[in-house]
Amino acid sequence: MSGPVLEAKNIVRDYHVRGGMFGTSRTVHAVKGVSFSVDEGRTLAIVGESGCGKSTLARIITMIDAPTSGELKIDGARVDIGKAALTPEMRRKVQIVFQNPYGSLNPRQKIGDVLGEPLLINTDKSAGERRDLSMRMLKKVGLEEKHFNRYPHMFSGGQRQRIAIARALMLNPRLLVLDEPVSALDLSVQAQVLNLLADLQDEFKLTYVFISHDLSVVRYIADEVMVMYFGEAVEYGTRDAVFSDPKHDYTRTLFAATPRADVASIKARLAKKKAA
């Protein structure tokens, strides 16, 4: 397979906000002309603060939301959900994992049904086949057979995020959009989920779009990094280029604000405190 799995050119998304009974309506420019491409088996990290448009971009890539203008290509095929309905084949190719594993699973659905539902809707597999596939995926993400008939509330945050990842993988997608998948998790659980993502990427040749505000996680997982600020991509390049030589002021501010947990910076801080 040659060519990028995901290609975006000049994506723009405006939201029109009605002003209520007396106010005038206004337009919010959530994403202002962003372009990028991701090759197979690579990870693009999108970094930015709340309100910078990164989640809007995730919705556009996942084809939940249509861009106001711009061109989105998935596996070389142009997609425009504003004009034509999506084929089930396209729906299958891109899946998403959300930030909050407590909110993204239906509390009244057993885990087996959570995993089987994508197959039920998108394929004509029999109940037995669906069960087998779900069971296999459950084990793949590090859970056990006994978990199949349990409800979401019986799981910890990390386990729920594993379930959400398993659900996203049920249809063998090409591209996985991960919207802050580890920011709600503890450090040790975060490490486990990041490892799982790396394992799955190797095994299925998955392409990731990883949205995060945590730079240490991004540095660990990303191949390419895009920094967004007020709807614009202010920095875009390989991980090493962005981290070693940030070009934009905002990227530098972001790096400076990230707390550093190394001995040298602790020593520097203590010395400064003593001097004061």
Residues near another protein (CB under 8 A): 49-50, 157, 186-192, 194-195, 198, 213-217, 219-221, 253-254, 256-263, 265-267, 269-270, 276
DSSP character at residue 146:
G
Question: Alpha carbon 92 to chain centroid distance?
Answer: 16
Cβ contact 49:228 at 8 Å: no
Cα–Cα dist 105/154, whole Å: 12
Q: Quote the least distance from Cβ 229 to another protein, whole Å.
A: 11
Nearer to another protein, 90 or 194 (CB): 194
Angle of CA points 167, 173, 177, to nearest 5°? 75
Nearer to another protein, 12 or 198 (CB): 198
Nearer to another protein, 95 or 99 (CB): 99
Cβ contact 50:109 at 8 Å: no
Which residues sit opposite 130 in a β-bridge? none
Q: Quote the least distance from Cβ 162 to another protein, whole Å.
A: 13
Nearer to another protein, 85 or 263 (CB): 263
Q: Quote the least distance from Cβ 216 to another protein, whole Å.
A: 5
Q: Quote the least distance from Cβ 52 to another protein, whole Å.
A: 9
Cα–Cα dist 30/80, whole Å: 18
Cβ contact 237:37 at 8 Å: no
Nearer to another protein, 129 or 203 (CB): 203
DSSP character at residue 145:
G
Q: Quote the least distance from Cβ 222 to another protein, whole Å.
A: 11
Nearer to another protein, 49 or 129 (CB): 49
End-to-end CA gap in the chain: 60
Q: Quote the least distance from Cβ 246 to another protein, whole Å.
A: 14
Q: Which of 151, 156, 221, 157 is nearest to 183 (CA)?
A: 157
